[in-house]
């Protein structure tokens, strides 16, 4: 008989689950990323980095990222929010087990003469009990479903924390690269201003000797004024970039840190031919799927509410009129109080709750599919930017070289008096504009690579499977 009773008792305590079997919805995106002229690229021969430490090559940027991950306040709030949901899961999980409590109490009461019919009486009663109170047997898996829902909600919140961390890394990298680009543009503007002022002084001397007209001098002056405005503009932008970077990092940033030039290899290149299932490593997609699984578990809890619930209250102890006799023979007592609750009429609230749970799951399915579609577009856009920016940068470098040759030739012809200053000033403007365009295009390329890094979920190694283990999140 005991061999049958123990497995039956274990089955009763564990209960069954009425939650639907979870099936991951089919991906609404293609199996491979697009191909065509915008996506051409040679194969990668380097080892693939798995996270940001291997992606970003600038040691200053890596140092700032470490500081930001330790000091950023928004990330700290996201971490605390994750811990709060973990605590809520632990609270819900505790409902699966009975709560055992010990209770000791004493009563001393005086009864007046009118009640006793004689002299007043002082009555004393002492008791001590150990037992459980209102423990619900999870026969239909309601508590188990609620525990699973709390666990999956916690895991979704942890993915939201990872998403906040990834967003912070992207924001810091973008702010840092923008700051470096504005610094290079400021240095270029100052260098150009020195050359323009030198040309203006030469023009003024030639104007005094009568070899140049007043128009030539005015043109040289407007060129200096235009470059001075550019210096002021980039000085302002560099200062604002530094302020934004310091806010993201959460600490002071030394503006004299040795930079890695933008033209150097700043970010590891993404290899071509990435499979579309890499999207499953994105925190927002994983968060959406955990939320979908939580909604699926909530259906099980809503279904279980239609069935009877059984709760137990039981205790055992001892009671006596004297404290010294509390545990003597003959003072023992016990209580066993089962309670069955069977829903008979609730005006359709249980059915409405089940319908609501199913609708919530359908909404989570739509959100999950939308997150995949958005991610697929972001990665495809990033892959298109990777190839086209390489072509655009090469064309811009060629333009800078041609503008430099044009500038040198125009300057030489101007110095020897063959051409007027108008041709030389046009060559200066063209060279300055070409160099500005090269820095701006390089920044745009780097920002696109940062966005691609973010779109791929923080790296481009194979995506880990989505699963949860209760033992992995239980407190130790």
Q: Which pLDDT score, from 0 to 100, does residue 113 have?
A: 63
Instruction: Give, in degrees to the nearest 5, the angle at Cα 29 between 290 and 279.
Output: 50
Q: Which pLDDT score, from 0 to 100, does residue 466 have?
A: 53
What is the value of pTM for the model shown?
0.79
The predicted model gives 9-24 an average pLDDT of 68
DSSP 249-267: HTS---TT--PPPTTS--B
> pLDDT tens for residues 170-206?
999 999 999 999 999 999 999 989 888 888 887 777 7
Q: Which pLDDT score, from 0 to 100, does residue 277 have?
A: 64
Confidence of residue 428 (pLDDT cuts 50, 70, 90): confident
Q: Which pLDDT score, from 0 to 100, does residue 10 have?
A: 45
Contact (Cβ atoms closer than 8 angstroms) between residue 279 and residue 295: no
Q: Which pLDDT score, from 0 to 100, does residue 299 have?
A: 92
Q: Where are the domains of the chain?
A: 11-71+141-307+348-473
In the chain the first and final C-alpha atoms are separated, in Å, by: 37
Contact (Cβ atoms closer than 8 angstroms) between residue 325 and residue 331: yes
Task: Specify the DSSP element, H or E, that contains 408.
Answer: helix 349-415
Tokens of 298: 């909530």
Task: Kindly give the interhelix angle for 421-455 and 142-209, rounded to the nearest 10 degrees.
Answer: 170
Q: Which pLDDT score, from 0 to 100, does residue 153 have?
A: 93
Q: Which pLDDT score, from 0 to 100, does residue 7 have?
A: 46
Q: When comparing pLDDT for 326 and 55, which is higher? A: 55
Lowest model confidence (mean pLDDT) among 55-59, 213-217, 333-337: 213-217
pLDDT exceeds 80 at position 415: no
Domain range 11-71+141-307+348-473, CATH class: mainly alpha
Q: When comparing pLDDT for 228 and 212, which is higher? A: 228
What is the percentage of the chain residues whose pLDDT exceeds 90?
A: 34
Grouping H, G, I as helix, E, B as strand and the rest as coil, residue 43 is coil
Q: What is the rounded CA–CA span in Å between residue 327 and residue 142?
A: 40
Q: When comparing pLDDT for 112 and 18, which is higher? A: 18
Contact (Cβ atoms closer than 8 angstroms) between residue 140 and residue 14: no
Q: What is the rounded CA–CA span in Å between residue 132 and residue 101?
A: 6
Tokens of 300: 């099980």
Q: Which pLDDT score, from 0 to 100, does residue 237 have?
A: 96
The predicted model gives 412-420 an average pLDDT of 76
Lowest model confidence (mean pLDDT) among 31-40, 142-151, 260-269, 285-294: 31-40
The predicted model gives 430-437 an average pLDDT of 92
The predicted model gives 329-344 an average pLDDT of 81
Q: Which pLDDT score, from 0 to 100, does residue 156 have?
A: 94
Lowest model confidence (mean pLDDT) among 139-153, 265-279, 356-370, 371-385: 265-279
> pLDDT tens for residues 70-122?
998 888 999 999 999 999 999 999 888 888 888 888 787 777 766 555 666 77
Q: Which pLDDT score, from 0 to 100, does residue 238 have?
A: 94
CA distances, 33 to each of 29, 36, 104, 475 (Å): 9, 10, 70, 41
pLDDT exceeds 50 at position 470: no
């Amino acid at each position: 008989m005991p061999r049958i009773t123990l497995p039956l008792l274990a089955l009763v305590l564990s209960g069954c689950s009425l939650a639907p079997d979870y099936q991951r919805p089919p991906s609404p995106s293609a199996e491979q990323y697009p191909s065509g002229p915008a996506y051409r690229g040679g194969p990668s021969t380097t080892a693939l980095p798995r996270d940001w430490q291997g992606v970003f090559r600038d040691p200053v940027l890596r140092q700032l990222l470490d500081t930001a991950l330790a000091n950023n306040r928004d990330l700290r709030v996201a971490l605390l929010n994750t811990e709060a949901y973990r605590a809520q899961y632990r609270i819900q999980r505790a409902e699966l087990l009975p709560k055992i409590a010990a209770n000791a109490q004493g009563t001393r009461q005086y009864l007046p003469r009118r009640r006793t019919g004689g002299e007043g009486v002082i009555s004393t009663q002492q008791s001590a009990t150990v037992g459980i109170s209102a423990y619900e047997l999870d026969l239909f898996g309601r508590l188990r479903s609620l525990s699973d829902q709390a666990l999956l909600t916690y895991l979704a919140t942890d993915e939201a924390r990872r998403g906040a961390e990834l967003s912070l890394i992207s924001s810091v990298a973008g702010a840092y690269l923008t700051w470096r680009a504005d610094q290079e543009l400021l240095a270029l503007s100052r260098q150009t201003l020195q050359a323009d002022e030198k040309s203006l002084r030469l023009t003024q001397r030639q104007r005094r000797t009568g070899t140049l007209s007043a128009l030539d001098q005015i043109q040289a002056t407007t060129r200096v004024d235009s470059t001075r405005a550019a210096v002021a503009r980039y000085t302002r932008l560099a200062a604002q970039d530094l302020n934004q970077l310091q806010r993201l990092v959460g600490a002071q940033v030394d503006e004299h840190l040795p930079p890695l030039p933008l033209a150097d290899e700043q970010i590891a290149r993404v290899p071509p031919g990435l499979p579309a299932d890499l999207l499953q490593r994105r925190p927002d997609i994983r968060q959406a799927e955990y939320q979908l699984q939580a909604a699926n578990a909530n259906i099980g809890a809503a279904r279980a509410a239609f069935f009877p619930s059984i709760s137990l209250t039981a205790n055992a102890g001892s009671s006596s009129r004297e404290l010294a006799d509390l545990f003597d023979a003959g003072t023992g007592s016990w209580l066993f109080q089962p309670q069955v609750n069977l829903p008979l009429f609730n005006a359709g609230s249980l059915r409405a709750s089940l319908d609501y749970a199913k609708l919530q799951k359908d909404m989570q399915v739509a959100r999950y599919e939308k997150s995949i579609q958005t991610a697929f577009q972001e990665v495809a856009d990033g892959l298109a930017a990777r190839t086209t920016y390489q072509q655009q940068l090469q064309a811009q470098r060629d333009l800078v070289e041609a503008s430099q040759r044009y500038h040198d030739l125009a300057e030489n012809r101007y110095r020897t008096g063959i051409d007027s200053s108008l041709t030389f000033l046009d060559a200066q403007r063209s060279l300055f504009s070409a160099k500005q365009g090269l820095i701006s295009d390089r920044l745009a390329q780097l920002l696109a690579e940062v966005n691609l890094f973010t779109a791929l979920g923080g790296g481009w190694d194979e995506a880990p499977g989505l699963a949860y283990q209760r033992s992995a999140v239980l407190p130790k």
